[in-house]
Structure 1
Amino acid sequence: MVANEGGTPPAVEVSAPALLATPCIFASPHSGRRYPPELLRMSRLDRHALRQSEDSYVDLLFDAAPAHGAPLLRALFPRAWVDVNRSRDELDQRMFADPLPTSADTRSNRVRAGLGVIPRIVADGQDIYSRKLKFFEARRRLADCYDPYHLALARLIADARSRFGCAVVIDCHSMPSAGGAPFREGERAIDIVLGDRFGASCAPGVAAAVEQALAASGYLVSRNAPYAGGHVASAYGRPAEGVHVLQIEINRGLYLDEKRIARTDGFERLRRDLRKLVAELARLSPAALRPAQAAE
């Protein structure tokens, strides 16, 4: 656990391996299930409706990471409260009764869509709040949740680079089954989308290894469409510096009853296959992923 200052409940959890044996770091930013009473009081939606934005149980799908020598970082708070896969400044003025700081990025596409760092809506488009917020409320959330998550991620990356000369962040997400709809009529639905920001956030070998492992288990994999990677991939992915980030989006239809937000019989099969993927990634050679000058 990573505790906040002042004795407040921890916002994030790091499940560390007994021995760090791989530069891989598995991160689940959107699977938090601890809904703050404050959110439930101020929301016009009930808990079930708020959970529509959750990447439900993704942290459990990757819980084998520590057994293979890799840490697993998970946010414990829900995405509807704070979205750590956004820039800290992506704030929506429409949500606030008072002016935002001039540093706020109020015009990003994600903010315009209502999906900033403090989301205005849930995944199905419903407004979350019954009133406008004050900026001090957002500032407190960012300090309590956003900052601890990114501090933990930065520390894990630094640890991996110190030990192996590189770091590989597997940013774990799920997507609505509608997001995996085939691009053309008659084609099979997409099971998993890999996002490397079109090659900018990780070395080609990382994405190729993941795609090959998933395809061997029978999954249909797409690259960068419809999801190319979010803030974590763009902010941390620096292959030339030995830091690689690959976003994985899993079709919820593989493991979840999306209406009830309940695991289906497919959950355990998917979990077994992802354990094989974790084991495969743990065998990646750090030498091929270090900065060029360090590898020579």
Structure 2
Amino acid sequence: MAPEFSKKGLYEVLEPVSQTLPLVFNSPHSGRAYPQGFVRDSRLDAHSLRRSEDHYVDELFGAAPGLGAPMLLAHFPRAFLDVNREPYELDPRMFDGSLPPYANVSSMRVAGGLGTVPRIVAENMEIYQRRLPVSEALERIETIYKPYHTCLRSLIVRTHLQFGFAVLVDCHSMPGNVRVPGGARPDFIIGDRYGTSAAGDLTRTLVRLFEDMGFVVARNKPYAGGFITEHYGRPAKGLHALQIEVNRALYIDETTLAKKPEFEAVRHGISQALAGLAGYVETYAADSALAAE
């Protein structure tokens, strides 16, 4: 199915004129180019399939290149392939044929229908009318998943070599009904895998930047970061990874998926926070203490 994406490409990197910051931004779930064959073979209509998107997150974080950092964004939709999973988190009940022995068939994400090739979109809506050939899943992994991660890894390595450390910011959105312990509805959740994927000062700085603008911010609960944050975050090696979840109710109508009038204000607030983060990491760009924390 990869040729159906050829008009826009599977993904793209928005490069700054010159990379001046040790930051890499990633938007793996905002893709909205749906292959016609995928929609045709689904039991869901095109609008329902979009409920898995991180709607317009690529636009919300669009200030990144102007600040001096690259941004990788997917054009393929999360409902088709989820690159924020292990490469082979696959549900054997979805496929005709035997999965390879190295497939992870028993993760919690697979059990929940949200593996590398998802079984459901939000609200437990089944995507497919029938089982898929195993070869279809493996083709998506070979032609989309692996090239995407190769690209992301190259951006991180390039940044690390240039600055001595790198900070990956993984950009996502969450449903408006999410609550944290105590019942509050967060506007943003910052995830660092409970302090294991990034230096604590980075996380605290990002939380403070949003809070100073009046947003309600939570840390790690209920979203601590997915595969990307966990996989690429190696603070001891100067590789830091943070996840930012934005509450969709702030900026879209979650029924129609249309942008709200508040969209620009939210985008502006995120841009201000990114500028603050840029200033913070710039201060430490030559400081080996952050790279080694």
Structure 1 residue 64, shift from structure 2 partner: 0.7
How do residues 25-40 of structure 1 correspond to structure 2 at under 5 angstroms? 25-40=24-39
How many angstroms apart in 1 are the aligned matches of 2:273 and 2:265?
13
2:271 to 260, 275, 280: 275
Structure 1 residue 8, shift from structure 2 partner: 4.3
Paired amino acid for 1:147: K
How many angstroms apart in 1 are the aligned matches of 2:88 and 2:185?
35
How many angstroms apart in 2 are the aligned matches of 1:156 and 1:182?
33
SS of 2:132's partner is coil
Paired amino acid for 1:108: S
- Kindly indicate whether residue 189 of structure 2 is the aligned counterpart of residue 190 of structure 1: no
Q: 2:259 maps to which residue?
A: 263
Deviations 1:215-271 (A, max 9, x none): 011111111101111000111100000110001111111101000011101110010
Q: 1:177 maps to which residue?
A: 176
Aligned residues: 285
Structure 1 residue 59, shift from structure 2 partner: 0.5
Structure 1 residue 209, shift from structure 2 partner: 1.1
How many angstroms apart in 2 are the aligned matches of 1:278 and 1:261?
25
How many angstroms apart in 1 are the aligned matches of 2:194 and 2:230?
11
How many angstroms apart in 1 are the aligned matches of 2:180 and 2:111?
27
How many angstroms apart in 2 are the aligned matches of 1:112 and 1:189?
27
Paired amino acid for 1:20: Q
Deviations 1:143-199 (A, max 9, x none): 2221121111101101101110111011000000112x25335xx421111110100
How many angstroms apart in 1 are the aligned matches of 2:174 and 2:241?
18
- Unaligned stretches of 5+ residues in structure 1: none
Paired amino acid for 1:33: R
1:228 to 224, 230, 253: 224
How many angstroms apart in 1 are the aligned matches of 2:290 and 2:50?
37
CA RMSD in angstroms comes to: 1.4
Paired amino acid for 1:45: L
Q: 1:57 maps to which residue?
A: 56
- Unaligned stretches of 5+ residues in structure 2: none
Greater than 6 Å deviation, 4+ residue runs: none
Deviations 1:30-54 (A, max 9, x none): 0001001121111010110000100
Q: 1:101 maps to which residue?
A: 100
How many angstroms apart in 1 are the aligned matches of 2:155 and 2:76?
19
Paired amino acid for 2:277: L
- Kindly indicate whether residue 78 of structure 2 is the aligned counterpart of residue 79 of structure 1: yes
How many angstroms apart in 2 are the aligned matches of 1:189 and 1:198?
20
How do residues 213-252 of structure 1 correspond to structure 2 at under 5 angstroms? 213-252=209-248
CA contact (8 A) 1:167 1:242 kept: yes
Deviations 1:110-168 (A, max 9, x none): 00000000000001101100110011111111122211211111011011011101110
Paired amino acid for 2:181: F
